Amino acid sequence: MTGGGLLVAGTTSDAGKSVVTAGICRWLVRQGVKVAPFKAQNMSLNSFVTKEGAEIGRAQAMQAQACRIEPSALMNPVLLKPGGERSSQVVLLGRPVGEMSARGYHGGRQQRLLGTVVDCLAELRGTYDAVICEGAGSPAEINLRRTDIVNMGIARSARLPVLVVGDIDRGGVFASFFGTVALLSPEDQELVAGFLVNKFRGDVSLLEPGLDMLHGLTGRRTYGVLPFRHGLGIDEEDGLRVSLRGTVRESSVSPPVGEDVLRVAVCAIPLMSNFTDVDALAAEPGVVVRFVDRPEELADADLVVVPGTRGTVRALEWLRERGLADALARRAAEGRPVLGICGGFQILGEHIEDDVESRRGRVDGLGLLPVRVRFAAEKTLTRPAGEALGERVEGYEIHHGVATVTGGEPFLDGCRAGSVWGTHWHGSLESDGFRRAFLREVAAAAGRRFVPAPDTSFAALREEQLDRLGDLIEQHADTDALWRLVESGAPPGLPFVPPGAPA
């Protein structure tokens, strides 16, 4: 028997599809429903490694956590990792299969992947009671509809009802809802069941006349009005820009346990990936995290983090152009803490031999760590575990660079030289004991009377966040009507809204 399904689409990118999908998943699992997330195609530099060694978008990994299940490659069969404005690495079923331009991908490759994503969704629906799918961008991208596999393409193929989410906080939500439906073909419109308003501020009774008029214009109802809440974003998809909407990054800093706060500056390097690594730092009371792009912003930082990137050589050049490379060198000479993670770790080394990512050959690194890096064609995708600073640590690795450590003290898979640390391990700071031990080292090196809180649990904070998303759906959406959509599909007889898709 095939399980039920629902596609959560949006009027725009960043309308709240990821959050709503996670919220519906958490609400369903609390009702005893066996549920899984799905996104046919994701474009993201924030990714995760599953237990079987597959790379998927972090948003789908977080949605799997909302479902209280292990993430798998089936939940995100196609992942695009931008390497610039015009090309991306294509990751299929968790493994990279090559670089491709946007024109080449939409010119034919994407449509050929439709069978793969339909099969993955069918396998999930054969295993779970319900699968909550997330779309991408807008379903009314009329220039891309012919090759679409993530919005109406998958909805048509799998006969999924579609719920369209709109962000009312940015304005124009009624026009966006109406226009989205009116630009779809009659066959696509048959599946668009209705709308969900996201990020509403104020008195809902003032909005209701507009919702009634929207129903009259489209024949489709609104399934809920979700209020604006700070800190409800889950792990970001868009790594081409810095966004600080994550729970801990947006929350106010709790008072420190000790006498001092600890200031963390994260270099906002190009093509920054997995910048969610610093969320665990920001979760600590008294730790202030900010993203920076000027050398003077490092002056009062107690710790500088050079994060991961999909363009290591490009990021290295950017650091030099901005004067940040010199500022990092001064910090190291003064014994002030620096942490490099993945691409950031590679940047801090002596040199990089890259014939894979940038194809620039040998490039000098910053020389702050005794490490030499060679880029391999095969990507490392692992979930390592070990011990550092006397504490158990778990993480995940996603990189082409192979590091040879020639000195310093061991630190996870990398090394430490003075006050400079480097590792390929993403997610290591989510290990509570290790994070506290690391922050004590940083505070001592920085001369700060900072004391880590003894009881901060990052996993518990994540669970609390997911429960808040489930509460939002339960309290502000028509959950009975949502379940009918999941179980039975779009209501029959939905009217056509002209003009429809252009020929």
Give yes or no: 342 in active site: yes
Instruction: Determine the pLDDT at residue 152.
Output: 96
* Distance of alpha carbon 307 from alpha carbon 290, whole angstroms: 13
Angle between helices 458-476 and 17-30 (to 10 degrees): 90
* Distance of alpha carbon 258 from alpha carbon 276, whole angstroms: 25
DSSP 74-122: GG-SEEEEESSSSEEEEEETTEEEEEEEHHHIIIIIHHHTHHHHHHHHH
Three-state DSSP state, 499: coil
Three-state DSSP state, 246: strand
* Distance of alpha carbon 440 from alpha carbon 446, whole angstroms: 10
Pairing of strands 130-134, 4-10: parallel
Pairing of strands 272-273, 308-309: antiparallel
- In sequence order, the β-bridge partners of residue 96 are 91
469: phi then psi, degrees, rounded to nearest 5: -65, -45
Which structure tokens are listed for 80? 């695009």
Q: How far is CA 32 from the centre of its chain?
A: 27
**What contacts 182, CB < 8 A, 6 or more positions away?**
497, 498, 499, 500
From residue 100, give the alpha-carbon distance in Å to each of 81, 115, 273, 500: 10, 19, 19, 32
* Distance of alpha carbon 210 from alpha carbon 391, whole angstroms: 56
* Distance of alpha carbon 136 from alpha carbon 163, whole angstroms: 13
Instruction: Determine the pLDDT at residue 230.
Output: 73
* Distance of alpha carbon 433 from alpha carbon 48, whole angstroms: 22
- Please pick, among 342, 399, 424, 476, the residue that the annotation labels catalytic: 342
List average pLDDT for each run of 10 residues in the chain, which is 503 residues long. Answer: 90 92 97 97 90 94 96 96 80 87 63 88 97 96 91 96 96 96 98 97 93 97 92 52 38 73 94 88 91 93 95 94 96 96 96 88 95 94 95 95 94 96 96 97 94 93 93 97 97 96 88
Q: What pTM does this model have? A: 0.91
Which structure tokens are listed for 155? 């909805």
Instruction: Determine the pLDDT at residue 244.
Output: 35
Give yes or no: 133 in active site: no
DSSP 248-285: HHHSPPPPPSSSS-EEEEEE--TTEE-GGGGHHHHTST
Three-state DSSP state, 441: helix
Neighbouring C-alpha atoms within 13 Å toward the C-beta of 93: 9
- Please pick, among 399, 400, 424, 426, the residue that the annotation labels catalytic: 426
Q: How far is CA 265 from the centre of its chain?
A: 20
Instruction: Determine the pLDDT at residue 106.
Output: 58
**What contacts 86, CB < 8 A, 6 or more positions away?**
101, 102
How big is the chain, counted in residues?
Answer: 503
Q: How far is CA 338 from the centre of its chain?
A: 24
* Distance of alpha carbon 196 from alpha carbon 204, whole angstroms: 13
Cis peptide before 452 (omega within 30 of 0): no
Do the Cβ atoms of 177 and 11 come closer than 8 Å? Answer: yes
∠ CA(285), CA(288), CA(291), 5° rounding?
145
Burial environment of residue 170 by CB neighbours within 10 A (0 to 12, 13 to 18, 19 or more): middle
Helices (H), ranges, 128-239: 152-158, 173-182, 186-189, 204-218
Q: Which helix (H) or strand (E) holds 356?
A: none
Q: Which helix (H) or strand (E) holds 134?
A: strand 130-134
* Distance of alpha carbon 152 from alpha carbon 65, whole angstroms: 26
Instruction: Determine the pLDDT at residue 99.
Output: 77
* Distance of alpha carbon 190 from alpha carbon 438, whole angstroms: 55
